Amino acid sequence: MSSAHPIKRPSSNGSEYSECPFTPATKRARVERLVADQQLLASQSIPTPHTPQVIQTVRLPDIQRKKILITGGAGFVGSHLVDRLMSEGHEVVVLDNFFTGRKANVEHWLHHPNFSLVRHDVIQPILLEVDQIYHLACPASPPHYQYNPVKTIKTSTMGTINMLGLAKRVKARILLASTSEIYGDPEVHPQPESYWGNVNTIGPRACYDEGKRVAETMMCAYRDQNNVSIRIARIFNTFGPRMHPNDGRVVSNFIIQSLQNKDITIYGDGSNTRSFQYVDDLVNGLVKLMNGNYDQPVNIGNPDEYTIKDFATKIRDMCGSKSEIKHFPKVADDPTQRKANISTAKKEIDWEPTVTVDEGLKKTIEYFQGEVQAAGEIVPTGPDAAKPKGGS
């Protein structure tokens, strides 16, 4: 009896099928092709409309490869952190409830054996075995975190308690993505980590500001009482590709309005200031902080300071737009000035930003050109509380 099993294939005219032998050679070729495909999928990301570039990954020995949890990993900053850690060869678990996160931000990794995506809300406990935890979960734009202030507080408090409990149980190091908002409307400029802040505890931004302040308190309490290894990053304004188009923040709104030649909306006279950093610099800072030896709060931001009006003009000019700048009443509790003092970051983790604002804006404008083209039209979110719009 012959060992070759016949298989059917279409004839030249497409109307009939003829039999061809499934020989050991053809079977071996198919297996080799399958193995090669799997090896390719395990060595890079897959191009997607949202992330068309291919990101290569390295293969680490088991002793060097970490299992890393990123809460909020499908969000703007989280997804860029995923890219960095995946490219270094680590195993990454993303935890996200997709309130502001988008599956499209990480879909280029869904095939990779080192990547896992879990739909889960951090206010509910979860049992995992991990080496490091980047706790980024929480809406970060004022319209989004004000939409459900009670849920925002729960995310910063209950979510942080749950992640600290997990870190304690599995002896993982945990990094909290805190915020420059803990400084409130600062009376010290620029803001060093030693400044205690000037925050309205019952204002519209308090759900986020105070939530992050108590999260820092809990981090230190777990460190001092339970010997949990902690890191705290106070993140200043950050921009780049994958920002949510409707997050209502300055950079995304100004770019979207400029690209569509719509009026650029400024709330107040535009004299209040911000310092803006590109997302790649932030990710570099987070990774350095996580793997360094410093466990006190660290400002991560670009000290280049702009007035909001000057920044709007810069973006309009870079977009070649015909938009006009329109002023509206100032938003309650909007800080008058914000600038990072990064002397601690320079000294303790050898970090400072390397991407200029202009370089970052060019990449961000290019990204939003694609978003506007795909959507047809994007209506920016105003300052009022709003649920995130758009698909995943």
Which residues carry out catalysis?
208
User: How many other CB atoms are there within 10 angstroms of residue 53's CB atom?
Assistant: 9
Closest CA to 258 of 143, 378, 388: 378
What SS3 state is found at 363? Answer: helix
In angstroms, the CA 319 to CA 342 distance is: 30
Whether omega for the bond prior to residue 190 falls within 30 degrees of 0, making it cis, is yes
Could you tell me if 117 and 94 are in contact, meaning their C-beta atoms sit under 8 angstroms apart? yes
What SS3 state is found at 95? Answer: strand
In angstroms, the CA 229 to CA 193 distance is: 19
Paired tokens of 274? 């911000």
Paired tokens of 29? 């070729």
Could you tell me if 302 and 360 are in contact, meaning their C-beta atoms sit under 8 angstroms apart? no
Closest CA to 134 of 190, 61, 80: 80
Could you tell me if 160 and 166 are in contact, meaning their C-beta atoms sit under 8 angstroms apart? no
Residues contacting 365, CB < 8 A, separation 6+: 255, 259, 315, 318, 319
5-10 and 17-22 strand pairing:
antiparallel
In angstroms, the CA 301 to CA 30 distance is: 52
Apex CA 345: angle with CA 339 and CA 347, to 5°? 130
